[in-house]
Amino acid sequence: MMVRLFDILGPTMVGPSSSHTAGACRLGYVVQAILGGTPDKAEVGLHGSFAMTGEGHGTKRAVAGGLLGFQPDDPRLRDSLDRAAAAGLEVDFSVIDLGEAAHPNSARFTVRRGQDSVEIEGCSIGGGQIRIREIDGFPVDLSGSLPTLVVVADDVPGTVAQVSGMLADAGLNLATARVDRTSRGGKALMTLETDAPVPDELLADLSAQDWVHWIRNIRQLNA
């Protein structure tokens, strides 16, 4: 484990719980970042401790605020459910059981924005830190603590090399890279964490590749 100074002197956050409030907010935030903006409709299943003690910890407000693009230190989290309604975000919460193996603070999101939709599972692992575990059925392991590029591409040879090459040409250093695929010749999901944010021009260049189906740029969580 690599401990950073502001893991200890932070996060600066709206209370009361770093996992049930700050972590829940970050999950919502990363979900909207993966979707490409605040959803029109979000179904959120809360598992375990999220479901059980979430009410007193403002978990629903934190998730809704995150989906609106608020960070954990945003005072608007307090009335984010009203703000969501005003912003046209319809958010439904339910209690779900993801089984014994799931982290006790887990949530499953089905979110829609225009024609776009995505299903994401993630958990809040303590101290405000989160992990995204699954995107559209692909297993992933994202922390959101670094700028992250998520690419759904044709599962054909050379695509990983092309993406990493384009990142290198732009002077971006890769921190982690992971590739998962549904089946041979099907689609592959690349998740690439970089040391610096991916510039818009590079994102446009990547989007223009005919083997790229879907691409999302997740801004670093800075709180």
Partner 1 sequence: MFTSISTWFDSAAEDGVTLAEAVLHAEVSETGVPAEDIMERIAGAIDVMRRAVEDGMTSSEKSPSGMTGGRARRLDNEGPRLLGDSFTALLARAIATLEVNARMGLIVAAPTAGAAGVVPGVLLTLQETRDWSDADLAKGMLVAGGVGAVIAERASISGAAGGCQAETGSAAAMCAAAVTFLEGGSPEQVSQAVALTIQGMLGLICDPVAGLVEIPCAYRNATAGVQSVAAAEMALAGLDFPIPVDEVIDVMGDVGRKMDVRYRETALGGLAATATGQRIAEEAGLQQLVQLQLKGRNRGEASARFGPS
Under the binding rule (CB under 8 A), the answer on residue 56 touching partner 1 is yes
Under the binding rule (CB under 8 A), the answer on residue 4 touching partner 1 is yes
Under the binding rule (CB under 8 A), the answer on residue 169 touching partner 1 is no
Under the binding rule (CB under 8 A), the answer on residue 21 touching partner 1 is yes
Under the binding rule (CB under 8 A), the answer on residue 36 touching partner 1 is no
Whichever of 149 and 223 has its CB closer to partner 1, that residue is 223
CA distances to 24, 38, 89, 206 from 29, in Å: 9, 9, 14, 23
Query: What's the closest the beta carbon of residue 214 comes to partner 1, in angstroms?
Result: 30
Q: Could you tell me the sign of the dihedral formed by the alpha carbons of 186, 187, 192, 198, in that order?
A: positive
CA distances to 56, 105, 123, 202, 223 from 133, in Å: 26, 12, 7, 26, 21
Candidate residues 28, 66, 128, 144; the one interacting with partner 1 per rule CB under 8 A: 128
Contact 180, 138 (CB under 8 A): yes
DSSP state of 157: T
Whichever of 32 and 80 has its CB closer to partner 1, that residue is 80
Candidate residues 43, 87, 102, 104; the one interacting with partner 1 per rule CB under 8 A: 104
Task: Write the binding mask 73 to 92 for partner 1: x where contact by CB under 8 A, - elsewhere.
Answer: x-x-xx--------------
Peptide bond into 75 cis (omega under 30): no
| Interface region with partner 1, contact rule CB under 8 A, candidates 46-54, 131-139, 175-183, 198-206 | 46-54
Under the binding rule (CB under 8 A), the answer on residue 101 touching partner 1 is no
